Amino acid sequence: MNYKTQAHFTKYILVFFLVISNFSCIRSRSWSTPEYKHLYYEVSISPKYTYKPEFSYTINKNTIDVTLKKIKICKKSQTDVERIYLIENTKSPRAKYYTVLGFILSSFAIPSYYMGFFKSKGTSRTINFAVGTGIFLVPGLSLAGYGIYKKSKEFTKKEEVGMNRRIIKSSTFKCGEEQVDKNQQVEILTKFGFKNLGSPINGKISININNIYPLHNETNNVFYLEIYLNKKKVGTIKLRNYKNKQDF
């Protein structure tokens, strides 16, 4: 490699090194992510509950005997108990590129050292060594060392920060029943509107079929009554063998 070629080659390497130096600051990225580790499951029943009205009935000739009751509804929950960890990460994604580029730049010193040892003497040898060392070897090793240093500062730290309880399943179930209160009002819906039957006694009340005009589903030809407790519908009473009245 003559001096003219080496000068041009050195010029391009200097430009390359200047470009690299503009981006010489390797920015580190830091972020945190939570991690959940399952420990055990807990099953609990809520102290709060609700009531759902329910009824049953029997038809004896012209009388419908209705039994009303309140069904106690409880809520059961299954909870997943977890331990929470916070994972902190610090990475320098560009560090490996700086290390590789640094070693590549250092390798460009080989022709200069070759010229210095085998192809030149005196001042020429000194110039070759100076070019190889000052332009290629030292900057290249510095760049590679900086990349290695930033890579060594990467870390991942895992720290316990607390516990977490997460409901994964909940359901309701029947947990008891009671009689309907005495002050509850029972009504039935007939062809001509609502008919008040009064309050049940011991959760029971009777309906005289002869004194009512039931609703009629013409599609299925079914006669029926709708029963209400405190203005809320409880269900339907079907009168399968009901004989149509003359004025119905």
Paired tokens of 207: 């309906």
pTM reported for the whole predicted model: 0.52
Q: Residue 125: phi, psi to the nearest 5? A: -65, -45
Same domain for 209 and 143: no
Same domain for 187 and 173: no
Same domain for 111 and 187: no
Domain count, the chain: 2
Same domain for 167 and 46: yes
SS3 letters across 7-37: HHHHHHHHHHHHHHHHCCCCCCEEEEEEEEE
Same domain for 103 and 207: no
Model confidence at 120, pLDDT cuts 50, 70, 90, reads confident
Q: What digits encode the pLDDT tens for the residues 128-163? A: 888 888 888 888 888 888 889 988 888 899 999 999
Same domain for 125 and 36: yes
Q: What digits encode the pLDDT tens for the residues 62-119? A: 889 999 999 999 999 999 999 999 999 999 888 888 888 889 888 888 888 888 888 8
Same domain for 245 and 149: no
Same domain for 217 and 107: no
Same domain for 187 and 65: no
Please identify, among 179, 205, 229, the residue that sits at the C-terminal boundary of a domain. 179
CA distance 175 to 226: 27
Paired tokens of 25: 């600051």
Range of the structural domain that residue 219 is part of: 182-248
Q: What digits encode the pLDDT tens for the residues 22-78? A: 555 677 889 999 999 999 999 999 988 898 989 999 988 888 999 999 999 999 999
